[in-house]
């Protein structure tokens, strides 16, 4: 069953506030001081499953050290590429009461073709490592994060392009691992759109599935009758025809955005949607901060 965030939980988290942490000690510079504002910190995770070191970036909400609250966790693929805009968006959406403060775990990419592909494609010689990468997330990374940080059980997975393919594949292969998914400009063309057929079977077999899914793509990424927009529409059509009663989803096409510009808005709308049924009351926002927007 989907892990629901209560209003009381949101109230506690809101009091903690949220920006990217930590902030370095000031460095003297003449008559002024310089303070470095960081989105988070990098940690090298030694993975036995992957057989390699995996860099991860962890961004904690402001006030984490002073708080005793537990926080939902956003697991972000292509972490180094996406952490900057995602952390900024999270900060704004938290301040405006659209989402609770969250922990962001950015997983840096070392081999996208291998790690994000769910099956082997003969045209991609390094492909097919998606199941092992998901195993790493489930059995090494998540336990590490849960053991070292105050995490709420509510987890979100987010991915773009091949990362979007991986995110959708994670839903189908490990539906109990995450509660919500932000799938941006996914590479559903992989292996002749095999994920479409898998989705049809999956949704039929899980009529009580309780998840939140967001799909975002730019209108400049392809036409409506071919390419990535059409492939995503095919997936959405399958979901619509076989939608579990408790599954929420939104499919949004972003006007005049291309493949590399659309993630900024997809992340924004995706976060708003997946937390939309948990919105913090406006009465709390009025007392949140004296810093005007």
* Residue 291 domain flag: no
253, part of any domain:
yes
Predicted confidence band of residue 242 (pLDDT cuts 50, 70, 90):
very high
Give pLDDT, residue 19.
Answer: 39
Q: Is residue 274 part of a domain?
A: yes
Question: Does residue 250 or residue 80 have the better pLDDT?
Answer: 250
Question: Is residue 228 situated within a structural domain?
Answer: yes
Instruction: Return the pLDDT at 17.
Output: 40
Q: Taking 80 as the threshold, does the pLDDT of residue 206 lie above it? A: yes
State the pLDDT confidence band at 201, using cuts at 50, 70 and 90: very high
With respect to residue 190, please indicate whether it lies within any of the assigned structural domains: yes
Condensed to tens digits (0 to 9), the pLDDT of residues 134-163 reads 999 999 999 999 999 999 999 999 999 999
Instruction: List b or e across 56-88, with b for residues whose CB sees 16 or more CB atoms inside 10 angstroms.
Output: bbbbbbbbbeebebbbbbbbbbbbebbbeebbb
Q: From CA 215, how far away is CA 250, in angstroms rounded?
A: 6
Task: Determine the structural domain holding residue 133 and report its residue range.
Answer: 7-20+36-285
What's the alpha-carbon Rg for the chain, to the nearest Å?
19
Distance linking the first and last C-alpha atoms of the chain: 37
Strands 52-59 and 103-107, bridge-based pairing = antiparallel
Measure Cα distances from 90 to 23, 84, 86, 107, 175 in Å.
17, 10, 6, 17, 25
Beta bridge partners of 182: 158, 214
Q: Is 183 helix (H, G, I), strand (E, B) or coil?
A: strand
pLDDT of residue 192: 95
Judged against a pLDDT cut of 70, whether residue 281 lies above it is answered with: no
- Residue identified by tokens 């592909």 is 117
Q: Which of 34-38, 64-68, 209-213 has the highest mean pLDDT?
A: 209-213
Mean pLDDT of 39-51: 94
Is 29 contained in some domain? Answer: no
The CATH number that applies at residue 14 is: 3.40.50.1820
* 31 located within any domain: no
- Asked whether residue 92 is assigned to any structural domain, the reply reads yes
- What is the model's pLDDT at position 286? 47
Question: Tokens standing for 66?
Answer: 């002073």
* pLDDT classification of 15: cutoffs 50, 70, 90: very low
The pair phi, psi for residue 254, each rounded to 5°, is -100, 115
| Number of domains, the chain | 1
pLDDT digits (tens, 9 = 90+) for 52-104: 999 999 999 988 999 899 999 999 999 999 999 999 999 999 999 999 999 99
pLDDT band (50, 70, 90) for residue 279:
low
Of the candidates 106, 134, 141, 101, the residue with the CA atom closest to the CA atom of residue 118 = 134
Average pLDDT of 168-186?
98
- pLDDT value at position 39? 87
Average pLDDT of the chain is 88
Predicted pLDDT at 3: 54
Lowest mean pLDDT among 1-5, 89-93, 109-113: 1-5
Mean pLDDT of 208-223: 97
């Amino acid at each position: 069953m989907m892990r629901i965030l209560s209003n009381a939980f949101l109230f506690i988290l809101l009091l903690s506030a949220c920006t990217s942490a930590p902030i370095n000690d000031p460095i003297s510079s003449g008559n002024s001081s310089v303070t470095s504002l960081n989105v988070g910190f990098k940690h090298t995770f030694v993975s036995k499953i992957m057989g390699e070191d995996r860099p991860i970036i962890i961004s904690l909400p402001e006030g984490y050290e002073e708080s005793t609250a537990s926080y939902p966790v956003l697991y972000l693929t292509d972490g180094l590429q996406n952490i900057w805009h995602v952390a900024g968006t999270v900060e704004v959406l938290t301040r405006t009461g659209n989402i609770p403060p969250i922990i962001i775990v950015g997983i840096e990419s070392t081999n996208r073709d291998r790690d994000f592909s769910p099956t082997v494609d003969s045209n991609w010689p390094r492909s097919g490592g998606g199941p092992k990468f998901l195993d790493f997330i489930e059995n090494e990374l998540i336990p590490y994060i849960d053991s070292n940080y105050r995490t709420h059980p509510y987890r979100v997975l987010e991915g773009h392009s091949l990362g979007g393919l991986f995110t959708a594949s994670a839903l189908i292969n490990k539906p109990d691992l995450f509660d919500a998914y932000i799938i941006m400009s996914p590479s559903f063309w992989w292996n002749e759109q095999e994920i479409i057929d898998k989705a049809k079977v999956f949704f039929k077999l899980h009529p009580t599935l309780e998840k939140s899914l967001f799909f975002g793509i730019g209108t400049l990424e392809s036409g409506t009758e071919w390419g990535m927009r059409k492939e995503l529409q095919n997936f959405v059509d399958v979901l619509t025809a076989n939608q579990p009663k408790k599954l929420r989803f939104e499919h949004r096409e972003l006007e005049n955005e291309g493949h590399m510009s659309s993630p900024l808005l997809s992340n924004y709308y995706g976060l708003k949607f997946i937390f939309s049924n948990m919105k913090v009351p406006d009465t709390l926002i009025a007392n949140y901060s004296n810093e005007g927007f």
